[in-house]
Structure 1
Amino acid sequence: MTAWTEDDLTRIGDAEELQVSSYRPDGTLRPFVTIWVVRAGDDIYIRSAYGATNGWYRRARAGGAGRIRAGGVERDVVFADAAVSAGADIDRAYHGKYDRYGPAIVGTVTGPDAATVTIRLLPRD
Structure 2
Amino acid sequence: MTNTTPAWTGGDLPQFGDAEEIEISTRRPDGALRPFVPIWVVAVDGSLYVRSYRGAEGAWYRHAIKRPAGVVRAPGRQVEVAIAAAEPGVREQVDAAYRAKYARYGATYLQPMLADQAVTATLRLDPAH
| TM-score, length of structure 1 as denominator length | 0.93
Question: Are 2:100 and 1:96 equivalent residues in the alignment?
Answer: yes
Alignment pair present for 1:17 and 2:21 = yes
1:57 matched to which residue of 2?
61
**Whole-Å separation in 2 of the counterparts to 1:70 and 1:41:** 20
The Cα offsets for residues 1-57 of structure 1, whole Å up to 9 and x where unpaired, read as 742015111111110011000000111000100011111110000000111011011
**1: CA distance between counterparts of 2:63 and 2:41?**
18
Q: State the one-letter code of the partner of 1:116.
A: T
| Root mean square deviation of aligned Cα | 1.4
Q: 2:10 aligned with 1:40, yes or no?
A: no
Cα distance between partner residues in 2 of 1:6 and 1:43: 13
Q: Secondary structure at the match of 2:32?
A: coil
| Structure 1 runs not aligned, ≥5 long | none
Listed as ranges, the gaps of 5+ residues in structure 2 are none
Percent identity between the aligned chains? 44
**CA–CA separation in structure 1 for the residues paired with 2:9 and 2:116:** 30
Quick check: 1:11–1:72 contact (8 Å CA) kept in 2? no
Task: Indicate conservation of the 8 Å contact 2:56/2:117, yes or no.
Answer: no
What's the CA shift for 1:89? 0.5
Once residues 31 and 114 of structure 2 are traced to their aligned partners in structure 1, the CA distance between those partners, rounded to angstroms, is 32
Counterpart pick for 2:117 among 97, 101, 113: 113
Task: Return the TM-score normalized by structure 2.
Answer: 0.91
Distance 1:17 1:31 in 2: 16
Q: Aligned partners of 1:38, 1:70: CA distance in 2, in Å?
A: 13
Show CA shifts across 1:72-112 (max 9, x none). 33111011011121110000110101110112310111143
Q: Distance in 1 between matches of 2:74 and 2:30?
A: 25
For residues 116 and 35 of structure 2, the distance between their equivalents in structure 1, rounded to whole angstroms, comes to: 29
